[in-house]
Amino acid sequence: MAAIFAATAGADTTLLERTKDGGRKILISGGGRCNVLPLRLDESRFVTDSSPNTLRRILRSWPLAEQRRFFEEEVGIPLAEEPELLKVFPASHKARDVRDGLLALARRRGVRVRMETQVIDVVPEHGAWRIDLAGAPSLTADAVILASGGLSVPSTGSDGFGLRVARALGHTVHTTYAALTPLTDERGAFGELAGISLPVTLTARSAERSASATGGFLFTHRGYSGPAALNVSHVAVRSREAGGQRARVHVRWTPLGEAEWEAALKPQGTRTVLGALRAELPDRLASALLDVAQVDPTRSLAELRREERVRLVETLVRGPLPWTGDEGYKKAEVMGGGVSLAEIDPRTMESKRCAGLFLCGELLDAFGPIGGYNFYWAWATGRAAGLGASVTAAARA
């Protein structure tokens, strides 16, 4: 996106890509369908240790409606909405169409694309920039855009190169961590439930931060996944890495609150407690939660003692979700933390420390939830960096 807009604005633009094909995170996103944008944008759902005001200014630089129009009219990719998930996908449901479409547009706009080209270093030199390459002569440029990603899913080529360059050039890099990653439980408290999925509300709370999310939830052989688990995982990850007391994660297993469950657990003929739970929950999960609450599943609702009912309702509405770790960067959708937004011009993405250097995407200290938010951030910051770099290049020409 940065290359497209730099070239469109008239800059002589070269895109350097270390892999042989590029855009691998696009290809694996959305289960291979590429959730290219959110259906609606809630700015409050982004996470940053930088200024929320700066974050909002960047997000508003390229509104959602304009991004959709760009993909449909300029890239030429029809989009399809999934209203129940608040997501937007290519109508073909093929992530490759998004990746290929962007690369094709870049080339049409005059971008020189060099695949299998690894950048070793980026060095300011005589008012310009020297880009050192592995096994090839260095390049010189008036402006450089770092769009190299963070640390998530290293198998796609993300190795933190851009972070190393930013640090070497004096930038403040806020603590990085795996975000939107599955949680694990080595003790296997719910191990027998692997494969069960359902919508839940999760809340993760540590001494420093908290997050809540409602959405799909999946029991895995190692722990928990699905949008709800991924969207609160950063709180758990950061508490574990900080040491001390770990975040506590609680679950509301159904949309029912305390009053609704109290009503559902009132005596109804010979109905058992297990029968009442099965009306709202998968069978195996209902049995497991009764075990957690220490309630006999064969007991009739009429035989349920008050203290048992209180325990059971607490388990159903605010039940603890035991966890011991996470899947880390290997399966993280994004990296949290990154280059401080305080050191970036929010209009152009230009570094305030190094004139002619622009940063965008996952390198920066911000990420959003599952649902196209992180692509929105990539597109918006990439566009701003491309336009900003083209102005700098023109001024230096």
Distance between alpha carbon 113 and the CA centroid of its chain, in Å?
Answer: 27
Q: What is the pLDDT of residue 131?
A: 98
Q: Each residue of 31-44: pLDDT tens digit?
A: 999 999 999 999 99
Q: Among 204, 226, 247, which residue terminates a domain?
A: 247
Task: Clarify whether residues 62 and 135 are in a common domain.
Answer: yes
Q: Among 209, 227, 247, which residue terminates a domain?
A: 247
Task: Clarify whether residues 291 and 201 are in a common domain.
Answer: no
Whether residue 397 is predicted with pLDDT greater than 90 in this model: the reply is no
Domain that holds residue 186: 180-247
Whether residue 296 is contained in a domain is answered as yes
Task: Clarify whether residues 29 and 143 are in a common domain.
Answer: yes
Average pLDDT taken over every residue of the chain: 97
Q: Each residue of 186-219: pLDDT tens digit?
A: 999 999 999 999 999 999 999 999 999 999 999 9
Whether residue 326 is contained in a domain is answered as no
Q: What is the pLDDT of residue 174?
A: 98
In the chain, what percentage of residues exceed pLDDT 90? 98
> How many domains does the chain contain in total?
3
What gap in Å lies between CA 130 and CA 139, rounded to an integer? Answer: 6
Task: Clarify whether residues 164 and 225 are in a common domain.
Answer: no
Task: Clarify whether residues 162 and 292 are in a common domain.
Answer: no
Q: Report yes or no: 273 and 290 within 8 Å, Cβ to Cβ.
A: yes
CATH number at residue 285: 1.10.8.50
Task: Clarify whether residues 276 and 347 are in a common domain.
Answer: no
Q: Report yes or no: 115 and 106 within 8 Å, Cβ to Cβ.
A: no
Q: What is the rounded average pLDDT of the residues 255-264?
A: 97
Q: What is the rounded average pLDDT of the residues 97-122?
A: 98
Q: Each residue of 288-341: pLDDT tens digit?
A: 999 999 999 999 999 999 999 999 999 999 999 999 999 999 999 999 999 999
Name the residue among 220, 183, 185, 176 with its Cα closest to residue 202: 183
CATH number at residue 125: 3.50.50.60
Whether residue 46 is contained in a domain is answered as yes
Q: What is the pLDDT of residue 116?
A: 97
Task: Clarify whether residues 31 and 159 are in a common domain.
Answer: yes
Task: Clarify whether residues 49 and 151 are in a common domain.
Answer: yes
Q: Each residue of 130-158: pLDDT tens digit?
A: 999 999 999 999 999 999 999 999 999 89
Q: What letter does residue 281 receive in the DSSP assignment?
A: S
Task: Clarify whether residues 199 and 306 are in a common domain.
Answer: no
Q: What is the rounded average pLDDT of the residues 156-180?
A: 96
Task: Clarify whether residues 157 and 272 are in a common domain.
Answer: no
